[in-house]
Amino acid sequence: MSGDRRRHAEASIVRAIAQADAFARARRVAMYRAFDGEVDLTLLETVARQADKPLLYARIAAADSPLSFVRPNAWNIHRNGLPEPQGPSSPLGPGDLLLVPGVAFDDAGVRLGLGGGHYDRTLAQTQIRAIGVCFECQRTDRLPRAPWDMPVAAVVTERGVLNFDTEESQV
């Protein structure tokens, strides 16, 4: 997806996130800077600032570790080409919302990522609400699963939100 179609889809995704109850309730929003075709959430930065929601950005701490999250004071490019926030880490906690990119998501919230396992390790160690972010064309009925795969609670695309859990705190 490219050009105007992509920009329109990304704007629709940001609107859906901004209108979600999980966003309204969030103390802070942990997100990512788009890489290699991921949905660009730059528009959400403005929405979050207007809603007085501090933003944290994902940073790879080490090859086999969970992600750390940073309120950036600068940006670099990681050795693998990912945008990397610079600044002190801030652990995720109750009330935070995590937006998770993916190459694909299935109808149970299982995610196919870029292969590093960082989001799975992060989701395994935290109880915060995680919402997958992708284009509708990246959704599928079922993905292969491994024991370490950690599903997200919901996925948001340009068509809206699909919830997978049955908690009261739906997106």
Q: Distance between the two ends of the chain, CA-based, in angstroms? A: 26
* Mode of pairing for the β-strands spanning 55-60 and 28-31: parallel
- 124 in a structural domain: yes
In which band, very low, low, confident or very high, does the pLDDT at 170 lie, cut at 50, 70 and 90? low
- Give the mean pLDDT of 12-37: 96
Report the predicted TM-score, pTM, of the whole model to 2 decimal places: 0.93
- 77 in a structural domain: yes
CATH of the domain at 50: 3.40.50.10420
- 171 in a structural domain: no
pLDDT at 168 over 90: no
- Give the mean pLDDT of 134-158: 96
- DSSP 3-state of 138: helix
How many domains are there within the chain?
Answer: 1
- The phi, psi pair for 101, rounded to 5°, reads -80, 165
- DSSP 8-class letter at 91: -
Domain that holds residue 95: 3-163
The whole-angstrom separation of Cα 142 and Cα 131 is 17
| Positive or negative torsion for Cα 114, 120, 121, 125 | positive
Tell me: the pLDDT tens digits for 67-96? 999 999 999 998 888 899 999 999 999 999
Mean residue pLDDT of the chain comes to 93
- 169 in a structural domain: no
- Full DSSP string of 41-70: -HHHHHHHHHTT--EEEEEE-STTS-EEEE
- 170 in a structural domain: no
Q: What percent of the chain is modeled with pLDDT above 90?
A: 83
- 75 in a structural domain: yes
Helix H or strand E encompassing 103: none
The whole-angstrom separation of Cα 73 and Cα 110 is 33
- Give the mean pLDDT of 14-21: 96
